[in-house]
Each structure stands twice: as C-alpha cells, then as structure tokens.
Structure 1
Amino acid sequence: MKEGIHPEYHEVVASCVCGSEVQLGSTTTTIRVEICSACHPFYTGQQKIVDTEGRVDRFMKRYRQDKKEAKTG
C-alpha cells in the first residue's frame, strides 16, 4: 500500500437529535444524524400503517361488476 494516501480511521461518536449516541469508526471527526433507531417510528413501534383496504375493495367491486356485465351482455 502507498503511504500517505489513505484517510485516518478513528473512533467517532455519532449523535442523534433525540440525544442518543453511538460510538463508531469513521474517517470524519463528527457525525450528526436527524433520526436513529432509538427514535425512528419503525423501530419504536409507533409506525402508522396506511390502510388501503378501501381502495382494494372499491377496485374489486368495480371488477366484479364489469365481469357480471360481460357475462350477461
């Protein structure tokens, strides 16, 4: 390996806006993130699930109606 061309790799503390800190290895001096696994809704169990059942039911109802018209027509 060539000398002097590789970045220096050292221990860094990555901090989140929620106050959580994790020690990592990096070539940068500081790491700041807006969201982490301690405050992300997916990991905390506060994720909202989008209900698309109404759209699917409406599509199926329309599909069944078109299918019935094709058989009778």
Structure 2
Amino acid sequence: MKSDIHPDYHTIKVIMTDGTEYETRSTWGNQGDVMNLDVDPKSHHAWTGSAGTILDRDGRVSKFNNKFGSLGL
C-alpha cells in the first residue's frame, strides 16, 4: 500500500435525534469531534413506517403541485 494517501481514521461521537449517543471510528472530522444527526433511522419515515411530512419552503411544493399536479393518476 502507498503511504500517506489514506485519510486519518479516528474515534468520533455521534448523537442521534433522540439524544442517544455512541462512539464510532470514522474519517469524518477530527479525533473527538461530535456529529449531531438531523435525520437517523429513529426519526426518518423510511425506517419508521410513518407518513413523512414535506416541508414547504418558499412555496416550492405548492408551485410543483400547481404545475404537475394534473399529471398524477
């Protein structure tokens, strides 16, 4: 293997959306950094099975629905 081409592999702390935390090894950040997750398997509807909500920022979803809503089944 070539030397000095691989990123540093170190320990970081990950904090889930419900506040639980764990330590893991990663190439992200620096040794001892904390990663706060906005979306994780405990909160995302793809894993929980609940119906997700779409945030309508600046009316983008409304504009899309107005333009393409009639194409649905």
Normalising by structure 1, report the TM-score: 0.46
More helix by share: 1
Mark the structure with the bigger radius of gyration.
1
Please give the TM-score of this superposition, normalised by the length of structure 2: 0.46
